[in-house]
A and B are shown apart, each in its own frame.
Chain A
Amino acid sequence: MSLLWLRFALGCYFIGLIYAFVALSRTSDLFSRIALHAASLGMVFHFVSLTELFLSGQVVWASVHNGESLLAFLSMAFFMVIYTIYQTTSPGVVVFPVVFFLTFVAAVDEQPVLLTQFVSHKGWLIAHIILIFTGYAALVLSFGASLLYLLQERRLKSKKATSLISFLPALEVIDQIGYRSLLLGFPFMTLGLLTGSVVAMTTYGHVDFLDPKILLSLLMWAVYMVMVFTRWNSGWRGRRAAFLATFAFVAALAAWAANYFSAIHRFAAS
């Protein structure tokens, strides 16, 4: 049942995906309203899907697909918060495709892949997953914002920003969205990694720092920290911030992919 709801959600997010492509070339108020409503409806389905999963009471939380689904949901939630504050759907240009991709991957497979390891502290594990994914979602958004910042900066520099068609919010607004997501995501990411270490410690008795998953996660965290620091200290934005954000994003993707290579963070077919 949960998968069915997720597929409904996927259908709604598909409209968001189309919006993302269309919005790059032209603006339509009507279409962004449609996309927003579709996204909200998708979130409702998505929420139902996640709730059913949770109520089923298994540790399926720790499966790859459910992880993807949760991450997609949290990214959408961030997007909605930003919409409420700034009344702009433009971060959707980046968020919608990411969310669609994640939901798509999570929704195609009937058999979720599960963590094979026995985990003794389920509460810590759930905390780890939710915290880390909130961090990821914030990162997705701040990455999106830094791309939009670049785009808007180029438009303003090329003196074309005053044409009637302009879907982007003001440069400083985009900057704020990115910075706030960054600031908000950082503590989540940090706490997520800490709870992860706690889970590892209690399960294996030690943390293997040479494990690719842990190495990449730490790298991502370090880049994240550099981003927050350079922004706070010298106001890095625009191109430099976008490079860092891309780097952090790639590191995050790599850390995610490392699930398939890691000895301790491994998944296998259930």
Chain B
Amino acid sequence: MRFQLIGVNHKSAPLEVRERLAIPESRLPDTCRELTAYPGIEEGMVISTCNRVEVVTHTTNGHADLRGFLHDHFHLKPEELDAHLYEFREKDVVRHLFRVAASLDSMVVGEAQILGQVKEAYATARAVGAVRGQLDQLFSRAFAVAKRVRSETAVGSSSVSIASVAVELAKKIFGTLQGKNVFIVGAGKMSELAARHLMAHGCASIFVANRTYDRAIGLAQKFNGQAIKFEDLYSTCDKADIVITSTGAPHAIFRREHGEQFLARRKNRPMFFIDIAVPRDVSQGMAKLDGIFAYDIDDLQQAVTSHVADRRKEAERAEAIIAGEVEKFEARISTLDVVPTIVSLQDHLETIRQAEIDRVRGRMGQLTPEQEIAIEALTRGIINKVMHTPITTLKSAAKESEATTVVDVVKRLFNLQVKGKDIPLQESPKKKDEVGTRQ
């Protein structure tokens, strides 16, 4: 395991620095090629999003000059960049990537975008052959871990903005938003944002009413909706399932009697009022009606706050999952490190065995099938006994830090030419099985 990672993110570097490091999507393939051509780097890829730029590599000896690569690539002086960089090696790279993919390192913890971005970066690097061995394993695992975190914790399941909380509530009431109508009362930035969110989730049409009719027309056009004169508000409002209201009226404009009218005309189908006006537009009396669900700005804000706290709690559970996964991955990769040596040791001894049998076969004369079998069993038995200790030692050493030393000793002792150091590691489990059967 010789992973190395270097990068900047929203915590370590201001936007001005991140801007200079950002790599446009079209340039990513070339950057990956350039990276793998850099001395000491076997595999490499670059993750570039608005919040982070990271270079992840698998190196020949664990000491590639990634800072040098960044300086060269971006033509930056060390003093401009180095203070903002963080660097990880080996196990820490694994942990960091698992956290990034699971969106624990994001600005908004639990946001879903980052996983898609990392997957894209991975696909690009893989397409140009910059990711093929251990790095491939690492990212495949990172995606699986991210999925696990998502399904076993609720880290990404709650909304953390007013607009998305509104959408979530609407879904709690209506199930699907397909075909639902939205009414914006009082054109404002915030109601526009909420409406945009609702439309993105499938709401069918939009009505806009505003004291100034022209502004209503303007906003309605943006959404391909219908402007309604303010005096027609009460006669049309029941057509909407969701009402976003934010007028500057000093008193509530929706009172109990209005609510009763709406419900009667709607045959009691529920209505959802998102009241972001201060003072409130929906009276307490109306909010109490069965079938009217009114949320004011404080209710929404409170939901957001509690979601943020929930996410923090869930993130702790996610961290525990990741810690376990890092251990598992490390154990797996290090076993894979010794597999080529074990295989070549087995091949080596098998060749000797075959050669020896062939050499003495002439002297033994005609053998009965039973004798053949006995000789096979005898020679195999000796080989297996001899191999047993080195293989167990190799396997247990794989879990320790001394793996490389032990591998070197075994290679020297038996004069092994380990082939397939770069064999794609997906094939390795098969080889591992072979190891098992031959023992």
Contacts and interface: CB of A to CB of B under 8 A. Distances in A.
B151 to A, nearest CB: 8
A154 to B, nearest CB: 11
A239 interface: yes
B346 interface: no
A164 interface: yes
A242 to B, nearest CB: 10
Interface stretch (A105-113, A130-138, A165-173, A252-260): A165-173
A247 interface: no
A187 interface: no
A236 B270 contact: no
B154 A164 contact: yes
B310 interface: yes
Nearest to B267: A235
Contact of A162 (B154, B172, B270, B314): B172
Given A169-B175, A171-B174, A164 B290 contact: no
A240 B269 CA distance: 13
A239 to B, nearest CB: 6
B303 A170 contact: no
A162 B158 contact: yes
A26 interface: no
B182 to A, nearest CB: 16
B174 A162 contact: no
B157 A157 contact: no
A164 B174 contact: no
Contact of A163 (B268, B270, B293, B306): B306
A159 B306 CA distance: 12
A235 B307 contact: no
Contact of A170 (B174, B266, B268): B174
Contacts of B169: 156, 161-162
A171 B268 contact: no
Q: Which of A153, A162, A236 has the most CB of B within 10 A?
A: A162
Contact of B307 (A157, A162, A236, A237): A162
Interface string A88-121: 0000000000000000000000000000000000
Given A162-B172, A164-B154, A238-B290, A172 B270 contact: yes
Interface string A169-185: 11111000000000000
Contacts of A235: 266-269
Q: Among A161, A169, A234, A236, which residue has the most Cβ atoms of chain B within 10 A?
A: A161
A150 B291 CA distance: 11
Given A161-B169, A164-B154, A171 B270 contact: yes
Nearest to A241: B268
Most buried by B among A159, A161, A237: A159
B290 A153 contact: yes
Contacts of B267: 234-235
B303 A159 contact: yes
Nearest to A240: B290
Nearest to B158: A164
Nearest to A166: B172
A226 B358 CA distance: 97
B87 interface: no
Given A156-B293, A238-B291, A171 B303 contact: no
A230 to B, nearest CB: 10
Contacts of B299: 159
A170 B171 CA distance: 7
Contacts of B176: 170
Interface in B262-309: 264, 266-270, 290-291, 293, 295, 299, 302-303, 306-307
A153 B270 CA distance: 10
Contact of A237 (B157, B268, B310, B314): B268
B330 interface: no
Contacts of A164: 154, 157-158, 307, 310, 314
A171 B266 contact: no
A163 B174 CA distance: 17
A159 B302 contact: yes
Nearest to A163: B306
Contacts of A170: 171-176
B172 A161 contact: yes
A238 B292 CA distance: 11
Given A172-B270, A235-B268, A159 B175 contact: no
A172 B175 contact: yes
B100 interface: no
B115 interface: no
B321 interface: no
Nearest to B303: A162
B316 to A, nearest CB: 14
Contacts of B172: 152, 156, 161-162, 166, 170-171
Contacts of B260: none
B168 interface: yes
Nearest to B241: A172
A173 B175 contact: yes
A23 to B, nearest CB: 17
Interface in B113-172: 154, 157-159, 165, 168-169, 171-172
Interface of B: 154, 157-159, 165, 168-169, 171-176, 264, 266-270, 290-291, 293, 295, 299, 302-303, 306-307, 310, 314
30 contacts: A152-B172, A156-B169, A156-B172, A156-B173, A159-B299, A159-B302, A162-B159, A162-B165, A162-B169, A162-B307, A163-B306, A164-B154, A164-B314, A166-B172, A170-B172, A170-B173, A170-B174, A170-B176, A171-B172, A171-B173, A171-B270, A172-B174, A172-B175, A172-B270, A234-B268, A235-B266, A235-B268, A236-B268, A238-B268, A240-B290
Q: Lowest 9 CB-CB distances: which A-B pairs, in order? A: A235-B267, A170-B175, A235-B268, A162-B303, A173-B175, A238-B290, A159-B299, A171-B173, A172-B175
